[in-house]
Amino acid sequence: MLHNQKIWEEQADLFHKLLSMDEECISCSVITATKYQVLNGGKRIRALLPPLLAKSINPEIKDDYWNAAIWCGLAVELTHSAGLCHDDIMDEDATRRKQPSVWVKFGMKQAVITGDYLFFLAKRAIQQSHLSDRDKLQVLLALQEEMLRGIRGQSLEFDFAKDFCFFNRTTYTQAIRCKTGGLLALSFLMGCICAKADAKLTRNIHQLAFDIGETYQVVDDLLDITNQKDRLEKDCDLWEGKPSWIVMDCCENLSETDRSVFLSRLYTHRSQKTEQDIVEIKNTITNTDSIEKGFQYIEEMQKKLTTKIEKLPPKVQQTMNNLVDKIIHTTLIRNNHEN
């Protein structure tokens, strides 16, 4: 834990270094909003993964490439923060980590600029690293691909809500592997590049990341539906009309008529939703046992992840298992829900 904290402290110093490069050309208000978005809490999982994974793959990693892993972790964290900044605008989320969202605190236009600036800073972070030119290009291309993947996932969610669509299991999986799995996969890929991992190990770890991301998203869906997320507002995903694993499973078990009514309530704009709408949505979800099936699905995925992790080198196994234990804490979620 202390080691992780030290890594983030170093990354925070580098973040301030990036901002200092623009003090004469970027307004103070944008700099302030950017600091607020990045430094105002969070788990920092994506920031820590590249250096932690690189060290587990190559314990004798050279200083230049350890430095590069630190920069790469910061780049992923800034990309994640940029996406959250824009997501909060689209979802009309007024709070983030129990604090006002950037668009609420600084205004809508400022939040858009802040998100854009963070995407730019992510690329600059990679350019500042001590990677070779070839490796920098590989990482920048991976970042570019991830940004496109995230846009694709977001557009799928947007189309669901816009057209009041039923999304099946395949489409849901595509969306979350683009949004949640993609950033984790990027973190893992950067760690492999910095550790000079061979092609086979890199491929296995990269693919595993998408599975971890998918499971993590279902955990997140369960946290929200059982009101265990660190948010001031309850039932946020339902108010926002977000497609989740729970909603997807529920829809699969409804008649066409009941599904139409359910989705009509879910996708109604939050300004027109009532408390009774939320009650009806939750009652329908309860009647299909979708929450319990969500717990069962995570437990099945954990077993699959364990099997895949066991095929990795021992030190990499430890890093992966620590990550899974940190983000997929099913027992705690289930116990809190049942109590």
We report the CATH number of the domain holding residue 160 as: 1.10.600.10
pLDDT of 201 strictly over 50: yes
At residue 334 the predicted structure's pLDDT band, cuts being 50, 70 and 90, is low
pLDDT of 338 strictly over 70: no
Q: Which amino acid is at 282?
A: K
Residue 309 contacts residue 211 (beta carbons within 8 Å): no
β-bridge mates for residue 99, sequence order: 96
User: pLDDT of 126-143, one tens digit each?
Assistant: 999 999 999 999 999 999
User: pLDDT of 81-91, one tens digit each?
Assistant: 999 999 999 88
Residue 209 contacts residue 181 (beta carbons within 8 Å): yes
Token pair belonging to 153:
């996932």
Tally of CA atoms within 13 A in the half-sphere of 36 that contains its CB: 22
- State mean pLDDT over 267-291: 93
User: pLDDT of 48-74, one tens digit each?
Assistant: 999 999 999 999 898 999 999 999 999
pLDDT of 331 strictly over 50: no
Q: Which amino acid is at 133?
A: D
d(CA 130, CA 4): 21
Residue 316 contacts residue 49 (beta carbons within 8 Å): no
Give residues with Cβ within 8 angstroms of 47, minimum separation 6: 7, 8, 11, 73, 74, 76, 77
Residue 297 contacts residue 330 (beta carbons within 8 Å): no
Total structural domains in the chain? Answer: 1
Residue 183 contacts residue 280 (beta carbons within 8 Å): no
Q: What is the pLDDT of residue 156?
A: 80
At residue 234 the predicted structure's pLDDT band, cuts being 50, 70 and 90, is confident
pLDDT of 161 strictly over 70: no
SS3 99: strand
For residue 233, the enclosing domain spans: 2-338
Q: What is the pLDDT of residue 2?
A: 46
Q: What is the pLDDT of residue 326?
A: 77
Helix orientation angle between 290-309 and 330-338, rounded to the nearest 10 degrees? 160
Of 77-86, 109-118, 122-131, 294-303, the least confident: 294-303
Work out the percent of the chain whose per-residue pLDDT is above 90. Answer: 56
**Per-chain mean pLDDT for the chain:** 88
Find the radius of gyration of the CA atoms of the chain.
20
At residue 329 the predicted structure's pLDDT band, cuts being 50, 70 and 90, is low
User: pLDDT of 17-35, one tens digit each?
Assistant: 999 999 888 999 999 999 9
d(CA 234, CA 247): 16
